[in-house]
A and B are shown apart, each in its own frame.
Chain A
Amino acid sequence: MAPRELQVQEKRELQKKEETTVPARIYMPTADIFESNDALSVVLEMPGVHKGNVDIHVEDGVLTVEGRLDFSKYEGMKPVYTEYNIGHYRRSFSLSNKIDQNKISAEMKDGVLALTLPKVEEARPRRIAID
């Protein structure tokens, strides 16, 4: 199959539950989520975010990922033509499975954050043998 031509995905601004005191815009990273027997994988696109500026936490069954944009690179640059805006990133997901918080691992490459959230032992599917 020939690879299809890429289309632009409009950035979605995060709908905040609570009001923020910071004027900067926050966008929702584009996400893929898939699950294997042992773990849940969440892949998020956060172009421009360096791995040191990512914050990941799970609280009350909610996974929250935040990525802060280093804006200083744009200093002294005057926009003359634009097709997208920039900002920080944040997105939350409620987790249906129990996740072993201490074993969450993350990898960041080319602006894409790949999270592996291992399920706790009792949440993994088991094959039941019939006697």
Chain B
Amino acid sequence: MYDPLDALFDFQKALESRLESDWLRNTTGGVGAYPPINVFQQGENLVAVLEVPGVTKDDLEIQAKNNTIRISGKKNISYPDRASVHRRERLSGTFDRTLTVPMQIDADRVRAEYRDGVLALFLPRAESDKPRSIRIN
């Protein structure tokens, strides 16, 4: 039987173990850059997921070229004039990050979805990059 909680737990373990992986290590802006990125494999394509809570859709810019995706934008936070601030943990500012994936992607077919502060980029593998079976004569 499918238990969503077990699935979540397994998934979290998988995420954790991947933190030590060196895949992509030299090709992103580096760990510590904003926003944090997770990359998933979905069939033969890749999905990059980024957490950017509080950023509006209009303040996000995504560019794709060859095997590189650039995500930039800004996060604004405003406080009312006549309020005393007790706690201020949220950060605002600009960001610009590049992700290079180890395969050719079809830049024209990259799809972006933004919902609830999470940006998902669907990166289809380019036709030319797909392996072909060779027939032996």
Contact = CB atoms under 8 A, between A and B. Distances in A.
A8 B51 CA distance: 10
A35 B33 CA distance: 32
Interface in B88-125: 88-96, 114-118
Contacts of B85: 32-34
B41 A8 contact: no
Given A71-B11, A77-B41, A82-B19, A47 B93 contact: no
B8 interface: yes
Contacts, number: 179
Contacts of B137: none
Interface residues of A, number: 49
Interface string A51-94: 10000000000000000010110111111111111110000000
A125 to B, nearest CB: 11
B56 interface: yes
Given A48-B118, A79-B40, A9 B4 contact: no
Nearest to B73: A6
Contacts of B39: 79-82
The binding surface of chain A is classed by DSSP as loop
Q: How large is the interface on B (under 10, 10 to 19, 20 to 34, 35 or more residues)?
A: 35 or more
A112 interface: yes
B43 to A, nearest CB: 8
Interface string B19-60: 101011000100111111111111000110001111111000
A25 B12 contact: yes
A5 interface: yes
B130 interface: no
Given A45-B53, A71-B8, A30 B37 contact: no
Given A34-B80, A43-B90, A81-B23, A22 B5 contact: yes
Contact of A8 (B34, B75, B82, B115): B34
Given A23-B9, A84-B38, 4 more contacts: A4-B94, A6-B75, A110-B57, A111-B52
